[in-house]
Structure 1
Amino acid sequence: MKNGKRRMRQLLAVLAICGIGGLSALPIGRATAAQPASDKQRADIVTIDEMKAYGKLSQPTVAFLHDKHTTALGKQKDFYKKECGTCHLSNKDGVMQLGYMSEGKPVSGEKLRDNYHNNCISCHKDMAAAGQKTGPTDVQCKGCHNATPDVASNWQPIVVDKRLHYRHAATQEKADNKCGACHHIFSEKTGKTAPAPKPEEVPGSCSYCHGEKTTVVENRQPKEIRSLRLAAHGECVTCHKATAAAGKDVPTGPVTCAGCHGPLDQKAIAETSLKKVPQGADLRIKRGQPDYAMVRPAEVQTSLAVAGKPYAGMPAVPFDHKYHEAKSETCVSCHHAALSSCSAKCHTPAGVKEGGFVTLEGAMHNVGATQSCAGCHAVVQKKPECAGCHDAMQKGIGGVDKCGSCHVPGDAALQEAMTSMMAKPASADTAAAEADLAKKLLAGKRDATTTFPAEDIPQTVTIGSLSKDYEPSVLPHRQIVQAMLDGMKDSKLAGAFHATDAAVCQGCHHNSPASKTPPRCGNCHQAVETTAASARPALKAAYHNQCMGCHKAMGIEGKVVSKAPGAKPVPAATDCAGCHKEKKK
């Protein structure tokens, strides 16, 4: 516990430090980043462009390679004596200022320029005098100010997914307050940030408080909140350094740019997580959330009188929260601004300023936003096994006949319970009853996609109504249906939305009534092409769009996908003879 408390004090000290300026450099310590595949693609490029705050730049910005510099400095004989102090000043209390050679106070543009020129060039000269490889030592501007640097950034944001979170939490298993090692809240009593005392008091993602930029708001506590970049570097890197200092062989995390943000290193982190996290481990991040919930307006909805009975409008949506958690990497996947209910403060039926006037209906149905239900489902529909049908379909909520897929009405008793629920505001007191109602409503949903018995599905379908220069096309109908089912067999989402046996059929028979014996394509698409405007393509175009469009969307054209002996590749879009044998003349 002593080590844990000492590390906590170090972390909290960094909280105070990082609000002052940008985190520009960190010591390399014993940890080093994996070597990039190419020095031209790097994750450590820091663009030095502060002078633009003083007016138009007279020289191009500087592409500063942070890891390259810290690695070079780490090889110096007495580097351990200065470490970060090589480039960063400290105040009388030993607190490091995060700006380059800056005390954290505003300076003139001239002094800022001289800071870089004098210190960088003198450091290069000292290394050159010692016979060491170094950077530019002359005063030619282009040595550093290069408008076309020969390096490019491959920097990627790092996501603390559930496995990485599990690994971090495991290091605090013996601590009295393991969540508080990373998560903090503002204490009104002390006027400072303090460790979150309980899991249910954790605010959630760092991004809920720490935005893209440091914010200063009067009459708010705390008045200043660091940017996410400063907060993350301050917390994570300081902890990794402190852990490394605790013992020579103590495993710790990266302290370099590439260590967290390089593609190769991120791949290594993911692979390590798969090895370190036990199979079957409970990855759920517990914040007092329910297993089931009802997605509904938080406030009371006044019922209308319809046929003498109360009608509260569109039924609320029963939601399997635990299942969706398992399918998401982080809580932010859905709760993008706060862990609280979407409809409590941000997305009301009418929309409010706090939520950008995005209504609850808009938030749930916005197909362009991955945080929304419809948007997230649309992303899943882009998977190859789904795209064959969904690529050509309308994105989003579709027609009103599709509403019942989510807004499950239930039987008479459940409908009555729904009306009663909507007459009360959503609160902690109603959560248990709402969870129970959601569970009952979802009990009737399918968990897997099924269709008609195999004997009811034609083995082949011969398409020959347009046969002229080519033989009729013989479609391996049953094989295609089975391949589609195989692609969806592990998807509970597909099972819930393919609610009938005929749903799979409508991927091809898209605008006809759901039936075991749907009408022929020629019943709707005319065989003869005309110049008359029509929303429906002619029959040949309909066949080609549907078949070739599916092959392209699923990425299977030109590939052998069937496991049957002697199977041939799925025809490419330009391979006429792949579907139609050429007639003998």
Structure 2
Amino acid sequence: MKNAKRRMGTLLVVLTLVGSGGLLMLTAGQGAAKEQGDDKLRADILSIDELKEFGPLTQPPVVFLHDKHTAALGKQKQFYQKECGTCHLSSKEGTMYLGYQRDDTPLSGDKLKDTFHNNCIKCHMDMSAAGVKSGPTDVQCKGCHNGKPDVASNWQPIVVDKRLHFRHAVTQEKAENKCGACHHVADEATGKAVAVNKPEQVAGACVYCHTETGSVVAGRKPEKIRSLRLAAHGECVTCHRSVAASGGKDVATGPATCAGCHGPLDQKAIAETSLKKIPAGADLRIKRGQPDFAMIRPAAVADPVVGADGKPVKPYGMPPVPFDHKYHESKNETCVSCHHASLTSCAAKCHTVAGSKEGGFVTLEAAMHKVDAGQSCAGCHATVQKKPECAGCHAQMKKGVGDIGQCGSCHAKPADNLEKAAADFMNSSDKDAAALAPALAEKLLSGKRQATATFAVEDIPETVTMASLSKDYEPSVLPHRKIVLSLVGGMKDSKLAGAFHETDAAVCQGCHHMSPATKTPPRCGNCHPATEGMAASPRPDLRSAYHLQCMGCHTAMGISGKVVDKAPGAKPIPLSTDCSGCHAAKKK
């Protein structure tokens, strides 16, 4: 591939096409557009509104359909001699600039307006004079400046996940510097991009340096780092086009249109192609020297830790957390899912025990337990709990990390034969701890359950009859065993569920929420009174408790008359609002 060393791909990054000024994607009015046909929902809609940086706009922004213009010009070779170069300039190295008819040098408002008017209108007029259908000319301002466009965006961000990364890596397999085809670092002296040639030299995802709006690095050349939008489009699209040009029509290459990357149907096609082209059982892991197992210790004991206030940070007194890094890699599409700022250890510089400026003073404890943060352990697990097979129980449980009884699920108390090894790890220096961690973590995790289990089938009551409130209806017969086995079956492939449902009675706690974890929990009526009393109480009466528990579970799991048992004559699970599904009318 020509100029491969200067290409920068989109490894493990979500491309968000929003920059500081320039061309922005439209997102409003999608509902109305869906009724007007597929051509009204597009992924190539750009809004030319750059003049707003210089004051209020005197005309509505121009709604520009990028792919439509590309396709139209492609049919008229006399007006399309330089392909993308018709509208976009390129650097000496061949990288395409995204700005229209200009490089990255800022222009004044008047010059920017003249650039668009002189070039766009001239192109339209030239095509019109040649008898070719064209866009509006200079006497049709509203033809371009239309405040009420009849199109809406279905643009979606694109994720270069592990499968897409694998496909890119395979194409570079024989290259001398396959990582450098996409990855580079900035040379401190010259400011130029230098390709990396080993996985461990890769700084990480593009978004770590190329932020959404670009960034300024004092004392380093270049001081201004391009935004993610500029870097990704300038490099990736240029690379895709150069590969296609060098190999002819039969060479497989990536898309070079807006819809090709950001259109929902095109993204679906990319995902399906990845599944077909990647061999079964292929190792998708991006290897760059990361450990298979790691240990997270609440606080270092060997070296006293000082907080931001200058006072020593007391150890939490919690056992360390063994972490199966390799398994978690397999469950996430990108490293950015957890390593949102860099590929270093969370506690290395950012989320230290005491908190640091680099991490916004978010401590390690807070970073791991924030339920509303998708990158944290607790936050990621909470997201999994929203799946239908889990939500029936977890949607009704207390939100947050408040039950200290759950701490032992992660903070594993070492067995007798590992107590010394765990103590040595906790009391070692950071350097020694890093060497001890992998082997210790693997041993501590070896005793964890791999799958959710419960009591033997014969020990689970087949039905439970709720008759204490059968004044107006016949007693409700609960298919107890079927429900329990269905819940366990829904979690059979989840190692996460297995690790947290550590006892046979754990699944029972979803309904018997305040009862001891036992094979014979007490009746609901032992805690919930049969009738609502006059005094305020945190416990609902029995009828309310049944309805909140049963109906809440059905609603959270999205049950809508589903038949779980496929046997002939099997009844569907009642809807959460279907009274007759649970209660037969009282016989008179």
Give the TM-score, by structure 2 length.
0.90
Tell me the number of residue pairs that the alignment of Structure 1 and Structure 2 aligns.
559
Secondary structure, aligned partner of 1:273: helix
Please give the alpha-carbon distance, in whole angstroms, between the structure 1 residues aligned to 2:429 and 2:269.
48
In structure 2, the residue matched to 1:64 is: 64
In structure 2, the residue matched to 1:238 is: 238
- For the pair 1:164 / 2:168, whether they are aligned, the reply is no
Please give the alpha-carbon distance, in whole angstroms, between the structure 1 residues aligned to 2:236 and 2:91.
22
Amino acid aligned to 2:581: G
C-alpha deviation, 1:260, in angstroms: 0.5
Which runs of at least 4 in structure 1 moved beyond 4 Å after TM superposition? 20-25, 89-97, 297-304
Residues 204 and 37 of structure 1, relative CA distance in 2, 3 Å threshold: farther
Please give the alpha-carbon distance, in whole angstroms, between the structure 1 residues aligned to 2:448 and 2:532.
43
In structure 2, the residue matched to 1:551 is: 554
**Map 1:464-543 → 2, pairs under 5 A:** 464-543=467-546
Please give the alpha-carbon distance, in whole angstroms, between the structure 1 residues aligned to 2:54 and 2:132.
35
The answer as to whether partners of 2:6 and 2:182 remain within 8 angstroms in 1 is no
| Greater Cα offset, 390-399 or 274-283 | 390-399
C-alpha deviation, 1:297, in angstroms: 5.2
Amino acid aligned to 1:265: D
The answer as to whether partners of 1:473 and 1:581 remain within 8 angstroms in 2 is yes
In structure 2, the residue matched to 1:16 is: none
In structure 2, the residue matched to 1:8 is: 4
Please give the alpha-carbon distance, in whole angstroms, between the structure 1 residues aligned to 2:413 and 2:373.
26
- For the pair 1:280 / 2:281, whether they are aligned, the reply is yes
Residues 138 and 189 of structure 1, relative CA distance in 2, 3 Å threshold: closer
The answer as to whether partners of 2:189 and 2:221 remain within 8 angstroms in 1 is no
5+ residue gaps, structure 2 = 10-18, 25-35, 306-313
In structure 2, the residue matched to 1:85 is: 85
In structure 1, the residue matched to 2:427 is: 423
Amino acid aligned to 1:213: T
Residues 158 and 301 of structure 1, relative CA distance in 2, 3 Å threshold: farther
C-alpha deviation, 1:473, in angstroms: 0.4
Secondary structure, aligned partner of 1:246: helix
C-alpha deviation, 1:315, in angstroms: 1.2
Secondary structure, aligned partner of 1:378: helix
Deviation string 1:90-137 (CA, Å, 9 cap, x unpaired) is 679987553212354333212222222232222222222333332222
- For the pair 1:290 / 2:291, whether they are aligned, the reply is yes
Please give the alpha-carbon distance, in whole angstroms, between the structure 2 residues aligned to 1:215 and 1:92.
23
| Greater Cα offset, 121-130 or 468-477 | 121-130
Secondary structure, aligned partner of 1:194: strand
Deviation string 1:358-399 (CA, Å, 9 cap, x unpaired) is 110111001111110001001111111111111111233231
- For the pair 1:345 / 2:349, whether they are aligned, the reply is yes
Residues 244 and 510 of structure 1, relative CA distance in 2, 3 Å threshold: same
In structure 2, the residue matched to 1:266 is: 267
- For the pair 1:226 / 2:226, whether they are aligned, the reply is yes
Deviation string 1:534-559 (CA, Å, 9 cap, x unpaired) is 21111111101111111111111322
C-alpha deviation, 1:197, in angstroms: 2.2
Please give the alpha-carbon distance, in whole angstroms, between the structure 1 residues aligned to 2:94 and 2:377.
50
| Greater Cα offset, 81-90 or 504-513 | 81-90
In structure 1, the residue matched to 2:32 is: none
Amino acid aligned to 2:522: P
Amino acid aligned to 2:464: V
In structure 2, the residue matched to 1:447 is: 450
The answer as to whether partners of 2:212 and 2:228 remain within 8 angstroms in 1 is yes
Residues 560 and 24 of structure 1, relative CA distance in 2, 3 Å threshold: same
Please give the alpha-carbon distance, in whole angstroms, between the structure 2 residues aligned to 1:531 and 1:258.
63
The answer as to whether partners of 2:5 and 2:177 remain within 8 angstroms in 1 is no
Residues 433 and 68 of structure 1, relative CA distance in 2, 3 Å threshold: same
In structure 2, the residue matched to 1:28 is: none
The answer as to whether partners of 2:464 and 2:478 remain within 8 angstroms in 1 is yes
Please give the alpha-carbon distance, in whole angstroms, between the structure 2 residues aligned to 1:92 and 1:413.
65
- For the pair 1:566 / 2:572, whether they are aligned, the reply is no
In structure 2, the residue matched to 1:255 is: 256
In structure 1, the residue matched to 2:310 is: none
Residues 297 and 208 of structure 1, relative CA distance in 2, 3 Å threshold: farther
Amino acid aligned to 2:136: P
**Map 1:116-127 → 2, pairs under 5 A:** 116-127=116-127
The answer as to whether partners of 1:303 and 1:311 remain within 8 angstroms in 2 is no
Amino acid aligned to 1:324: H
Identity of aligned residues (%): 69
Deviation string 1:255-305 (CA, Å, 9 cap, x unpaired) is 00110011000000000000000000001100100010002258555689x
| Greater Cα offset, 502-511 or 81-90 | 81-90
The answer as to whether partners of 2:5 and 2:181 remain within 8 angstroms in 1 is no
Secondary structure, aligned partner of 1:342: coil
The answer as to whether partners of 2:89 and 2:96 remain within 8 angstroms in 1 is yes
Please give the alpha-carbon distance, in whole angstroms, between the structure 2 residues aligned to 1:563 and 1:198.
54
Secondary structure, aligned partner of 1:546: helix
- For the pair 1:387 / 2:385, whether they are aligned, the reply is no
**Map 1:323-338 → 2, pairs under 5 A:** 323-338=327-342
The answer as to whether partners of 1:48 and 1:63 remain within 8 angstroms in 2 is yes
CA-based RMSD: 2.5
The answer as to whether partners of 1:67 and 1:257 remain within 8 angstroms in 2 is yes
The answer as to whether partners of 1:10 and 1:238 remain within 8 angstroms in 2 is no
- For the pair 1:400 / 2:401, whether they are aligned, the reply is no
Please give the alpha-carbon distance, in whole angstroms, between the structure 1 residues aligned to 2:319 and 2:93.
61
C-alpha deviation, 1:222, in angstroms: 4.2
Please give the alpha-carbon distance, in whole angstroms, between the structure 2 residues aligned to 1:312 and 1:583.
58
**Map 1:103-182 → 2, pairs under 5 A:** 103-182=103-182
The answer as to whether partners of 2:299 and 2:353 remain within 8 angstroms in 1 is no
Give the TM-score, by structure 1 length.
0.90
| Greater Cα offset, 192-201 or 334-343 | 192-201
The answer as to whether partners of 1:297 and 1:348 remain within 8 angstroms in 2 is no
Secondary structure, aligned partner of 1:416: helix
In structure 1, the residue matched to 2:52 is: 52
C-alpha deviation, 1:329, in angstroms: 0.3
In structure 2, the residue matched to 1:457 is: 460
Please give the alpha-carbon distance, in whole angstroms, between the structure 1 residues aligned to 2:187 and 2:304.
42
Amino acid aligned to 1:8: A
Amino acid aligned to 1:71: A
Amino acid aligned to 2:253: T
C-alpha deviation, 1:80, in angstroms: 5.3
- For the pair 1:367 / 2:367, whether they are aligned, the reply is no
Pairing partner for 1:579 from 567, 579, 582: 582
